[in-house]
Structure 1
Amino acid sequence: MRKRAISAVLGAAVALGGSTAVAYGDETVGDVQIATAAVSGGKDIAIGLAGKTVTVSVTATDPSGIWDADFHLWRGTDPDNPDGYLKPNDDSRAVRDASTTVRLQRLSKLTVNASPEPIAAGKPLTVTGRLTRANWDTDTYYTAQPVKLQFRKAGTSTYNTSQTVNTSSTGDLKAAATASVDGYWRWNFAGTSTTPAVKATGDYVDVQ
């Protein structure tokens, strides 16, 4: 029996980091039945300024068996006029029309620094940081969003929010707190539809 090759469209339709459309379907190509196809297992894809590797999968059957499958990924609302391509590791072609969705997001980063360290009990503490997200158009990171300042007492596992601070136009964060006991300070960003949630690694402060 002659085994058949199959192909499927997996399109990432996005307007500057919004929802993406991933095409798949149950269309028949000859005797080939393509049941499903997906990018990144249907999970959100956060893309920064460097290259990004994503997984593509397809489920298909044919009485003669299947020996090959091709995929074509694009960014934009129209596969014939894409905003950009997500390039696979091999040559791919598009042949599928049905669609579902997966979200393409701008990678976010968050830093924190609490000072001075060590510090005397009852003294004012300054907590700074920066929230950034990838800008695919200018190859820079930026954002301006509300971020929670949180504290976890040493020896415990739960962070509690002390206040919410809005970032500057460059993503900078700054807040004043009072040092009372040893513990960890961090910033916590809830995320948006275009930017994934991110938490800074806690900065330990020794209170003497």
Structure 2
Amino acid sequence: MRIRTTVAAVSGAVVLSGLALPTAQAADSHKGHTKITKVVVNGGKDIVVGTADKKITMTVTGTDPKGIKDGFAALWYGKKLDWGRLDGMLGPAKEPRCTKIDAKSATCRIVTVAHPRGLKNSTAGTWNVVAGLLGKGRAENHVIKEKYKTVRVQRATRLTVNASPEPVKKGEAVTVSGALTRADWESRTYAAYTGQPVKLQFKAEGTSAYTTLKTLKTDAKGQLKTTVKASVDGSFRYVFGGSAASPAVTAAGDFVDVR
């Protein structure tokens, strides 16, 4: 049996030599004793994509009584793995490379590239991983799991902070402003991330830990602004805890000299 490929059609990827997916709707498929034992995407970390291309490495490990011949993995977004109706697909960018572990098992390395121009902002969040392995031998034993696991593909975030005036007299007001933005994949720029809770933190000079002073929400332009009373020298920073669609980010502390 030979499993026909559609990878090239959906993502511009190379045609795999031995393993690919059905031409219309993918579905779990299994023949023989081929097994997937582990799939790792991006080293187990969330995939954060900004406005530049992002290379993503996936590995599929498994076994077959006669050994592993080929492997496949891709990321997809949608309700089901129907090639013609997917909202997002990240397929192999080049031939996978399988490394033999022993006579029966191997790990196949697959590389894909997330191009922001090909992503929809609305798809930021949870994606599915389709994975497959092809066993050696004439029977071409194989296994394909269209939803082996899920991963998060997120829009990169940026956060700034500025505390002024510097220096400031003790007891006077310090204005702490900043802005939270995130990657807009469709325009390939960073745009305001509105209505998000952000913590204002302070660390007194000579201490090692920041303390949360208050929590603000970003306005319609993604901006933050508040005032606090100056008491001692120290650094102010903003901290965003992240969301399903965008990762946590912490602004570098801005030091204020209190006189």
TM over 0.5: yes
CA distance in 2, matches of 1:171, 1:6: 49
- Of the three residues 148, 155, 167, the one matched with 2:199 is 148
- 1:106 aligned onto 2:110: no
Matched, 1:181 2:183: no
Any gaps of 5 or more consecutive residues in structure 2?
A: 1-16, 97-130, 133-143
Match of 2:184 among 135, 147, 150: 135
RMSD: 2.8
TM superposition score normalised by structure 1: 0.78
Cα distance in 2 between the residues matched to 1:195 and 1:91? 30
Indicate the structure whose relative CO is greater, using CA pairs within 8 Å and at least 6 residues apart: 1
For 2:147 and 2:217, the matched residues in 1 are separated by: 41
CA distance in structure 2 between the partners assigned to 1:97 and 1:149 by the alignment: 43
Is contact 2:167–2:256 with CA below 8 Å preserved after alignment? yes
Report the counterpart of residue 33 of structure 1 in structure 2: 35
Q: Given that residues 60 and 73 in structure 2 are in contact (C-alpha distance below 8 angstroms), is that contact kept between their aligned partners in structure 1? A: no
Q: Percent identity?
A: 46
Amino acid at match of 2:199: K
Distance 1:29 1:190, change over 3 A: same
Question: 1:102-122: CA deviations, max 9, x gaps?
Answer: 222221111111112122222
Cα deviations by residue, 1:105-145 (Å, 9 ceiling, x for unpaired): 22111111111212222221111111112222343322111
Q: What is the rounded CA distance, in whole Å, between the counterparts of 1:205 and 1:181 in structure 2?
A: 9
Partner of 2:93: 89
Stretches of structure 1 lacking an aligned partner (at least 5 in a row): 10-22
Deviations, residues 149-187 of structure 1 (Å, cap 9, x unaligned): 110001111111112222111111111112111111000
Does the C-alpha gap of structure 1 residues 72 and 98 become closer, same or farther in structure 2, counting only changes over 3 Å? closer
Aligned equivalents of 2:49, 2:149: Cα separation in 1 = 20
* Secondary structure of the corresponding residue to residue 242 of structure 2: coil
Distance 1:171 1:103 in 2: 23
Greater share of helix residues, 1 or 2?
2
Indicate the residue corresponding to 1:164 in structure 2: 215
Structure 1 residues 105-114 or 33-42, which shifts more? 33-42
Q: Structure 2 length normalisation: TM-score?
A: 0.64
What is the total number of aligned residue pairs between the two structures?
190
Q: Is the 8 A contact 1:39 1:54 kept in 2?
A: yes
